[in-house]
Amino acid sequence: MRTIIEPFRIKSVEPIRMTNREERISFLEAAHYNLFSLDSEHVIIDLLTDSGTSSMSANQWASMMRGDESYAGSPSYDRFHKAVYELMPFTNIIPTHQGRAAEKILFSIIGGKGKYILNNTHFDTTRANIEFSGAEAIDLVIAEGKIPSSEHPFKGNMDIEKLEAFIKEKGAENIPLVMLTITNNSGGGQPVSMENIKATKYVCMKYDIPLFIDACRFAENAWFIKMREPGYENVPVKTIVQEIFSYADGCTMSAKKDALVNMGGWLAMNNAEWAEAARNLLILTEGFPTYGGLAGRDLEAIATGLEEVIDEDYLHYRISSTQYLASHLIEAGIPIVRPAGGHAVYIDARAMLSHIPALEYPGQALAVEMYLHAGIRACEIGTVMFGMQANGTEVAAPMDLVRLAIPRRVYTQSHIDYVIEALTEINQNKQDLSGLKIVWQPKQLRHFSARFMPLNLKEKQKENFSKAFAASL
Ligand code: F0G
């Protein structure tokens, strides 16, 4: 049999409320054309993020019932610790409420002015936490990683030559650590090869710099290694995961991705001095070191999730479902970042809507139309997100993408077929789409709350829009 099916049955369901285009127009107007401001009940298929949106298994729910909520020394912490240690055997494993909490603690300890943190590509919260500490975040992904049409199998790889050159130029003493983000979310969910992880570690060892892994999607990355890297075809995913972490000195983790839970994370490391400082900060901001911002039941759900996420039937289905979406979009002539990432497909909206200039936000225009046409919510990753400069001017981002992030174990193939049909129809009438302008924006992180006005509004609609806008202020 060649058909790949969802390797689970559905025991508990959440209804999806169907809406029509007219209803969606009014919901979107009320949200000022910002998809983050929509009520999720008004969304049919939600592809905004794969973070914290997984379905938990019956076993995870069962584990939660044995969660021990003691303030200190909970057996749930022991089960969490054992499950993490089995895959990532660091001597200090510190739970946090999510990934960015681990980042905040880590960079508060080792960041600061004059320091550089090197990564294939920093995720935005990682970059923000590094910059908040006063340090600089440097991205050194290979050149192919920035070319949407390049079919390189490991587009998340670190550029080893640039890495070594940067260390030589700035001095190892100014680089407290090097990171590898697996998979590389900001670069299209692209994996890093084992060979590249080893080469990065080799350079780090040469200059005595610790290597940390941003481990959010470690299991998806391991599956790509098994599928694409010669010599790993017959190695169990669990062994691949263990090998990855054997080259690292620590990691940050958002359990909201590859631990299959809705909330949680951790910070892990071998350096005892850093770990002591981290635990001291943890008590200020998260909680006691055996729960760190999580309930005992959350720790249990993570422990069980970590066993399930390395199941090869699950990973086969997971990566195949993303590839299924990607290959149908390619067939429909829609330009996407190639090859498909692990957790998401990224549409190249600038190429698709080439008649919309970058400063009229082709990514936002596509995301808005996906919602109006079919109630699908996706996320612009382009000029709206990155175009505003610190000096208040606006420039086009390097790319205008729309990310279709696939929640884990949530949607069936027919849901994905619905997305493919919607995008195919939008693509057929793409010349009718026009851009937007921003009518209000906050000082920072504008994509979350900026208000937009479509540029093709008719006079009457504009008048209504202005009145509604004035009333909302
Ligand atoms: N690192 C990576 C690579 C991420 O993708 C994320 C979150 C984080 C760190 C931060 O983790 O959300 O638990 O604090 N990514 C989400 C996304 C938000 O939609 O891609 P967190």
3-state secondary structure 383-403: HHHHCECCCCCECCCCCCEEE
Mean pLDDT of 88-94: 98
> Once rounded to an integer, what is the mean pLDDT over residues 105-132?
96
Report yes or no: 357 and 437 within 8 Å, Cβ to Cβ. no
- Nearest-CA residue for ligand 1 atom 1 is 123
pLDDT at 2: 85
Classify 345 as helix, strand or coil. Answer: strand
pLDDT tens readout for residues 270-324? 999 999 999 999 999 999 999 999 999 999 999 999 999 999 999 999 999 999 9
**Cα–chain center distance at 255:** 12
Produce one character per residue of 109-125: b if its CB has 16 or more CB atoms within 10 Å, e if not: bbbeeebbbbbbbbbbb
Domains, in order of start, for the chain: 21-50+312-472 (3.90.1150.10), 58-309 (3.40.640.10)
Is pTM beyond 0.85? Reply is yes
| Pair 51, 265: CB distance under 8 Å | no
Q: In terms of Cα–Cα distance, which of 374, 353, 371 is closest to 362? A: 353
CA dist 267 and 104 (Å) reads 10
Rounded distance from Cα 245 to ligand 1 centre (Å): 19
Distance, CA of 359 to CA of 361 (rounded, Å): 5
Ligand 1 atom at minimal distance to the Cα of residue 181: 3
Query: Is the preceding omega at residue 407 within 30 degrees of 0, hence cis?
Result: no
Residues in the chain: 473
Q: Residue 15: exposed, middle, or buried by beta-carbon count in 10 A (0-12, 13-18, 19+)?
A: exposed
Residue owning the nearest CA to atom 12 of ligand 1:
99
For residue 334, what are its two tokens? Answer: 């829609």
Q: How far apart are CA 255 and CA 299, in angstroms?
A: 10
Q: What is the pLDDT of residue 186?
A: 86
Residues 279 and 328: their CA atoms lie apart, in Å, by: 48
Q: How far is the CA of 260 from the centre of ligand 1 (A)?
A: 13
Which atom of ligand 1 has the smallest separation from the CA of 254?
Answer: 13
User: Which two three-digit tokens encode residue 37?
Assistant: 């401001």
Q: Which atom of ligand 1 is nearest to the CA of 184?
A: 3
Higher pLDDT, 167 or 389: 167
**Per DSSP, what are the bridge partners of residue 137?**
117
Q: What is Dmax (Cα atoms) for the chain?
A: 67
Q: What is the best residue among 49, 97, 100 to mutate for testing ligand 1's pocket, by most ligand atoms within 8 Å of CB?
A: 100
* Centre of ligand 1 from the C-alpha of residue 127, in Å: 11
Only one residue has tokens 């909302």, namely 472
* Gap from CA of 332 to ligand 1 centroid (Å): 30
Give yes or no for residue 460 having a pLDDT over 60: no
Q: Determine which residue's CA is closest to atom 8 belonging to ligand 1.
A: 99
pLDDT at 432 over 60: yes
Q: pLDDT per residue over 341-384, tens digit each?
A: 999 999 999 999 999 999 999 999 999 999 999 999 999 999 99
Residue 420 burial (10 A CB sphere; 0-12, 13-18, 19+): middle
pLDDT value at residue 391: 86
Residues within 6 Å of ligand 1 by CB: 49, 51, 98-100, 123, 125-126, 181, 185, 214, 216, 254, 256, 265
Which one of 251, 257, 262, 408 would you pick to mutate in the ligand 1 pocket, going by the greatest count of ligand atoms within 8 A of its CB?
A: 257
222-280 per-position pLDDT tens digit = 999 999 999 999 999 999 999 999 999 999 999 999 999 999 999 999 999 999 999 99
Q: Distance from the CA of 253 to the center of ligand 1, in angstroms? A: 9
Residue nearest to atom 19 of ligand 1 (CA): 49
Alpha carbon distance 251, 270 (integer Å): 10
Pick the closest to residue 115 from 101, 102, 129 (CA basis).
129
How far is 310 from 87, CA to CA, in rounded Å? 10
Closest CA to ligand 1's atom 15: 51
Question: Best mutation site among 123, 267, 379 for ligand 1, i.e. most ligand atoms within 8 A of its Cβ?
Answer: 123
Upper half-sphere CA count for residue 418 (Cβ side, 13 Å) = 17
Strand partners, 381: 401
Tokens of 145: 């990683």
Q: Are 302 and 254 in contact (CB under 8 A)?
A: no
